[in-house]
Amino acid sequence: MDLETYIRALPKAELHLHIEGSLEPEMMFALAQRNGVTLPWSSVEATRAAYAFSDLQSFLDLYYAGAAALIHEQDFYELAMAYFTRAHADGVVHAELFFDPQTHTERGVAFETVLDGLERACDEARVQYGISSRLILCFLRHLSEDDGFATLEQAMLHLSRIHGVGLDSSEKGHPPSKFARLFKQCRDLGLHIVAHAGEEGPPAYIIEALDLLKVERIDHGVRAAEDPALVERLVREQIPLTVCPLSNIKLCVFPTLQGHNLKQLLDAGLKVTINSDDPAYFGGYIGQNFLATAEALHLSRAELKRIARNSLEASFVGDAERTPWLARLDALPED
């Protein structure tokens, strides 16, 4: 089996995927035309050409501009179906999708419009592809905690449809401590908790996410490597990291994929997973993230299997769903 086929055959979960970040320029333009929205770019090609980022904020500015093409329930449905089609082709058996309601409600799109469209796609993906999925609501950390509370109030009308909450957007200057009260309420509501930390922000933000937000997984977390005591803790507590290698290169967190610390983290005993983050912007879906990382860091098949296992173990599904995936994974050769 060649490496690409092997990676595709690994039953895997995608745990760090912003559904708005899977909006390909072709769909962005088609939706903008259908909805009468004017985009800041003249063409699909000009849009792609603008995807040269210097840091997280330079990406976010474009990402929020592109999301303006999404207006109707059908738009969110088509967006998520396109993602599921790609994920299925890459051997994803389970996906936990992040969505950013504040990006849409701020523009006058109803919370329910977003949720209804995404949920319809999740239901359809189960039938059409056998993919299981969950929705995780992310709060935008550049906005206030009060804004987050207002969003949670809307989400509370639909709690059975939302599996967890996360924290994303501009990390520097917006530490997890800013949202301690909001996440306490989310925990009290029985929601699963994750947060972006240690992507651009310092290891101290990862510690805050653990201690103050009580996260079950860290999104990114690659800067944990700068604090040996923190690495030791993450290993001891087996806190999963949802690492996104191609994203980290595009956003200049590491200069090259060869210089990425994913293997170092894996060797240290951390529960590392591989994910795509915003695949339409960063040049690859989950399969491409696995393949490029495996080649750049010379990961063995046993290591790739370990990473896929980590993703299944770190997912928020019950054992009844997880066990058959693990059995399929165990049945794959390691050479």
The footprint of ligand ADE on residues 189-248 (CB under 6 A) is: 196, 199, 247
The minimum distance between CB 174 and ligand ADE, in angstroms, equals 10
Using the structure block, give the residue that is written with the tokens 């370990």. 306
Q: Residues 136, 147: contact at Cβ < 8 Å?
A: no
- Please tell me the distance from the alpha carbon of residue 300 to that of residue 310, in angstroms, as a whole number: 15
Residue 236 beta carbon to ligand ADE: minimum distance, rounded to whole angstroms: 26
Closest approach of Zn ion to the CB of residue 253, in Å: 12
Is the Cβ of residue 281 or residue 290 nearer to ligand ADE in the bound state? 281
Sheet holding 12-18, edge to edge: 12-18, 92-99, 132-140, 164-168, 192-197, 217-220, 240-243, 271-274
* Cβ atoms of 80 and 123 closer than 8 Å: no
Check 20, 96, 171, 199 and give the catalytic one: 199
**Residue 297 binds which entry of Zn ion, ligand ADE, none, with Cβ cut-offs from 5 to 8 Å by kind?**
none
Nearer to Zn ion, 18 or 305 (CB): 18
Helix (H, G, I), strand (E, B) or coil at 211: helix
List the interface residues with Zn ion, window 237-266 (CB under 5 A). Answer: none
For position 278 contacting ligand ADE by CB under 6 A, the verdict is: yes
Question: Going by C-beta distance under 8 Å and a sequence separation of 6 or more, which residues neighbour residue 208?
Answer: 175, 176, 177, 197
Among 277, 286, 288, 314, indicate the residue that binds Zn ion (CB under 5 A).
277
With contact defined as beta carbons under 8 Å apart, do 233 and 213 qualify?
Answer: no
Q: Least Å distance between CB 115 and Zn ion?
A: 20
Q: What minimum distance in Å lies between the beta carbon of 137 and ligand ADE? A: 13
Tokens of 172: 């520097």
Tell me, yes or no, if 199 is annotated catalytic.
Answer: yes
Tokens linked to 187: 């925990």
Burial 16-34 (b: 16+ CB within 10 A, else e): bbbbbbbbbbebbbebbee
| Contact status: 119 vs Zn ion (CB under 5 A) | no
Q: Give the binding-site size for ligand ADE (rule: CB under 6 A).
A: 11
Among 24, 208, 277, 303, binds ligand ADE (CB under 6 A): 277
Nearer to ligand ADE, 80 or 329 (CB): 80
Q: Which does 208 bind (CB under 5 to 8 A by kind): ligand ADE, Zn ion, none?
A: none
Q: Measure the CA–CA gap between 155 and 161, rounded to whole angstroms.
A: 9
- The answer to whether 7 and 91 have CB atoms below 8 angstroms apart is yes
Q: Which among 6-14, 208-216, 257-265, 276-284 is the span making contact with Zn ion, rule CB under 5 A?
A: 276-284
Nearer to ligand ADE, 196 or 217 (CB): 196
Closest CB to ligand ADE among 62 and 326? 62
Smaller CB separation from ligand ADE, 3 or 62: 62
Which DSSP state fits 156?
G
Q: Which residues are catalytic?
A: 199
- Positions touching ligand ADE (CB under 6 A) are 18, 21, 56, 63, 168-169, 196, 199, 247, 277-278
